[in-house]
Structure formats: C-alpha cells, structure tokens
Structure 1
C-alpha cells in the first residue's frame, strides 16, 4: 500500500512538472489540458483521474512541492 501511494505521488508530481514546464514555454488555451488528458488516458489505459481539473491540481501540487525536492 505504501509503495502504491509513493508511485501515485511520483506520477502526479511528474505530470504536474510536465504541465508546469509547458505552461512556461508555450501559449495556453483551454483545449491544452483537454488534449493532455486525452493523451494520458490513451497512453495509460486503466488508470483514472486524468481529468482537466485533476491535471490542474497536479500542476499546483508540483509547483507547491518543487522547492522542497530541489533543496
């Protein structure tokens, strides 16, 4: 159970980092998160939770914790 939580947090942090980086380097519209959501659902079948609102939360999670992990 603990390993599953670590893996889930690592995945969310990684996806949040990807989104955060993309936000800084490109022009974003509402469809970008929808596109990333669809891609993740195709690439990771069976995993759930890749909605637009969850992707926003993953980005906030990454941005809130990146300073802790970089220190």
Structure 2
C-alpha cells in the first residue's frame, strides 16, 4: 500500500479529487481553496475539513469556529 502525503489528507480540495478521478485539470481554484483551509487552521487552530478514510470522497466542511483574539471582542 502506498503512503498518502499528509498535505493531501489535511488540505484536499474538490479540484484535487476531480483531478485524481481524471475528470478535470487542476487550476488556481485548488490553491485558493487550500489557502482558505490554511488560514482557517491558523486563525482557529481547527481544520474545517471533516476527516475521511477515503481521500477521493466528497469534501465536507465543519463550520469555522469563533476566532479567539487577545484584545477586545471575539470575531465571529
């Protein structure tokens, strides 16, 4: 069995799934989606992707949690 790169499991995108299924070519939308996931992890310490054992399954997202900030009110 081949090992899957961790980045693919943690930050997979709809475009990567379509590419892996040989349905579409990759484009910049995949990069933007991944960047949004990275920002969500940085700001909330939580990856919004719902974990799955099947890397080629449809993407499902949890709502982004409240962003904790040090001073003032929380950003919702």
The bucket for the TM-score relative to the shorter chain is 0.3 to 0.5
Higher RCO (C-alpha under 8 Å, 6+ residues apart): 1
Computing the radius of gyration over CA atoms, which structure comes out larger, 1 or 2?
2
Structure showing the higher helix proportion among its residues = 1
| TM-score using structure 1 length | 0.33
TM-score, length-scaled by structure 2 = 0.31
